[in-house]
């Protein structure tokens, strides 16, 4: 960034954005550089974020903001021979979303390199990093040498962004959280794309969730986000596609940190729920196609699961990131390694019929109450708690039949929590078709 940008007055920039004018590239660079250097106060940062939220962020501003955040830190550089194989995946987050845990080693087994920079999350459960930390010994904080060795030996890693990668994003996100500007489309785009470009990825597939338990409640809002994600990533030299997927029901069978890791291992062994299998197949096949794979990507994905090479890549990744060989071997063999909750309780269906829906929002809020997620940054989470859901949309259910198992850390569940969770199961007297989890794919 140009040093002269430090001389720009933040008050003038705030007034300009407050009044709905488009900020120039130099003005955005000035704001970001002053933020990272500590010249902007938290209240000034918050005021700018709120102005951006209210007035909106144009495509040009989003591109310049992303570029400025990217340039606030370092950018990972990988071997030239890996250039055409470097891929990444991102999800806007959902209830039971363990796709990164499954898809990353699958892509590595398909011959791609996956330098995944992931995060933690607020709300119902932890993020991908929290889930991985339920594996004894797994380290999410790794240095560049370890990352490179993991890409060489396993073909993938899943790690936290270090302090040198997009430091501006870390500052902005902390203020977004306390100023209720987390769901600003332009800020979401700049946060996602800056970290993905910094990871060194050349191809990116993004899973934008749509529905009751998603940031985007409508397809229209999801499309607007998708179009800006694709536009900005292209401006920064990354080819991308966006898959819109449903998030009205929890994804897969489990919701909870260790529980989702256990389901991911079963999925890599070939025991995958239909919705997870569909999403993994579509996301993975799109990335393979973008990198020039000439065959049927979905067939290749099925092959690397069936022959065990995807599971082997997962095992290698664990070892590269600190898990002892014996622990990694036991985990991929399905032996008990993960922490478990002290208590479990089954809830039973209160009527017979066909499942219309298992409300993902309610399930997510219950898991948050159990301790699986965070209400604010820095909260401690319980890696063992969560739910296993045995009935899904379109399934036949009989009154008195168990439909969910709750894993909890206290001897009994609060009555109000049980009542609330029972409301998640919606039953109809006539059979229902389960809609495709994939809504649309945007290029």
Average pLDDT across each block of 10 residues of the chain; the chain has 443 residues. List them in order: 58 94 96 95 96 96 97 95 96 94 98 92 74 97 96 97 90 88 92 94 97 94 95 96 97 97 98 97 98 95 98 98 98 97 98 97 96 83 96 96 98 97 97 94 96
d(CA 131, CA 158): 11
Residue 397 in contact with residue 391, Cβ under 8 Å? yes
Helices and strands: H and E segment counts in the chain: 17, 13
Strand ranges across the sheet with 87-91? 87-91, 203-210, 239-246, 438-442
Catalytic residue, candidates 17, 120, 195, 241:
195
Marked catalytic residue, from 55, 176, 223, 392: 176
- Tokens 């929590």 sit at which residue? 417
How confident is the model at residue 125, as a pLDDT? Answer: 63
- C-beta of residue 238 within 8 angstroms of C-beta of residue 196: yes
- Write the burial class of residue 87 (CB in 10 Å: 0-12 exposed, 13-18 middle, 19+ buried): buried
Q: Which of 72, 121, 134, 191 is catalytic?
A: 191
pLDDT at site 379: 82
Is residue 91 part of the annotated active site? The answer reads: no
- Which residue's entry shows tokens 């995958």? 272
248 is catalytic: no
Which candidate in 97, 130, 169, 207 is catalytic?
169
Instruction: Judge whether 30 counts as a catalytic residue.
Output: no
Q: Is 440:244 a contact under the CB 8 Å cutoff?
A: yes
As its CATH architecture, domain 80-162+180-187+198-333 has 3-Layer(aba) Sandwich (3.40)
Q: What are phi and psi of 355, to 5 degrees?
A: -70, 120
* pLDDT at 78 (0 to 100): 97
- Domain ranges for the chain, please list them: 10-56, 80-162+180-187+198-333, 343-428
Of 17, 85, 89, 90, the catalytic one is 90
Q: What is the pLDDT of residue 352?
A: 98
Question: Which H or E run includes 13?
Answer: helix 10-18
Q: Is 166 exposed, middle or buried (0-12, 13-18, 19+ CB in 10 A)?
A: buried
Distances (CA, A) of 368 to 24, 33, 123, 238, 390: 41, 36, 6, 35, 20
pTM higher than 0.75 = yes
Q: How much is the pLDDT for 351?
A: 97
What pLDDT does 215 receive?
87
Pairing state between β 254-255 and 396-397: unpaired
Pair 162, 155: CB distance under 8 Å: no
Give, in degrees to the nearest 5, the angle at Cα 246 between 59 and 135.
95
Q: Token digits for 258?
A: 């260790």
Q: Is 267 among the catalytic positions? A: no
Q: What is the SS3 assignment for 402?
A: strand
**Which is the CATH superfamily of the domain at 10-56?**
Transferase, Pyrimidine Nucleoside Phosphorylase; Chain C (1.20.970.10)
Distance CA(296)–CA(139), nearest Å, equals 35
Strands 353-358 and 396-397: antiparallel
15 is catalytic: no
Q: Which tokens hold the place of 185?
A: 């489309």
- The third-level CATH classification (topology) of the domain covering 343-428 is Aldehyde Oxidoreductase; domain 3 (3.90.1170)
- What local confidence, expressed as pLDDT, does residue 4 receive? 42
- pLDDT value at residue 3: 47
What integer pLDDT is reported at residue 124 of this predicted model?
Answer: 62
Question: How many angstroms separate the CA atoms of 186 and 434, rounded?
Answer: 33
């Amino acid at each position: 960034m140009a040093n002269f940008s430090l001389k720009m007055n933040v008050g003038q920039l705030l007034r300009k954005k407050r009044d709905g004018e488009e900020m120039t590239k130099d003005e955005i660079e000035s704001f970001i550089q002053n933020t990272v250097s500590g010249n902007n106060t938290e209240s000034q940062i918050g005021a700018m974020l709120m102005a951006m939220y209210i007035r909106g962020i144009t495509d040009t501003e989003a591109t310049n903001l992303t570029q400025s955040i990217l340039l606030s830190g370092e950018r990972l550089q990988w071997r030239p021979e890996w250039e055409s194989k470097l891929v990444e995946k991102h999800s806007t987050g959902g209830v039971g979303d363990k796709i990164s845990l499954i898809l990353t080693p699958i892509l590595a087994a398909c011959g791609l390199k996956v330098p995944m920079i992931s995060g933690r999350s607020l709300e119902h459960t932890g993020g991908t990093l929290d889930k991985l930390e339920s594996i004894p010994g797994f380290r999410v904080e790794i240095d560049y040498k370890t990352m490179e060795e993991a890409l060489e030996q396993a073909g993938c890693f899943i790690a936290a962004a270090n302090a040198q990668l997009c430091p501006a994003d870390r500052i902005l996100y902390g203020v977004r959280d306390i100023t209720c500007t987390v769901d600003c489309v332009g800020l979401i785009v700049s946060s996602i794309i800056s970290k993905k470009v910094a990871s060194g990825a050349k191809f990116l597939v993004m899973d934008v969730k749509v529905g009751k338990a998603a940031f985007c409640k409508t397809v229209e809002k999801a499309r607007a986000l998708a179009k800006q994600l694709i536009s900005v990533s292209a401006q920064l030299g990354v080819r991308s596609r966006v898959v819109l997927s449903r998030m009205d029901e929890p994804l897969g069978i489990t919701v909870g940190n260790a529980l989702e890791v256990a389901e991911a291992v079963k999925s890599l062994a070939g025991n995958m729920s239909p919705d997870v299998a569909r999403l993994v197949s579509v996301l993975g096949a799109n990335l393979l196609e973008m990198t020039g794979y000439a065959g049927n990507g979905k067939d290749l994905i099925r092959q690397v699961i069936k022959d065990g090479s995807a599971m082997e890549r997962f095992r290698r990744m664990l070892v590269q990131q600190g898990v002892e060989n014996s622990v990694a071997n036991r985990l991929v063999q399905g032996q008990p390694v993960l922490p478990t909750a002290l208590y479990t309780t089954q809830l039973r269906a209160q009527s017979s019929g066909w499942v219309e829906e298992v409300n993902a929002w309610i399930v997510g809020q219950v898991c948050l109450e159990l301790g699986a997620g965070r209400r604010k940054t820095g909260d401690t989470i319980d890696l063992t708690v969560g739910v296993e859901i045995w009935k899904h949309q379109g399934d036949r259910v009989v009154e008195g039949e168990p439909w969910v198992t709750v894993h909890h850390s206290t001897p009994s569940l609060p009555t109000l929590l049980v009542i609330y969770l029972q409301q998640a199961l919606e039953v109809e007297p006539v059979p229902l078709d389960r809609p495709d989890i994939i809504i649309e794919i945007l290029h």
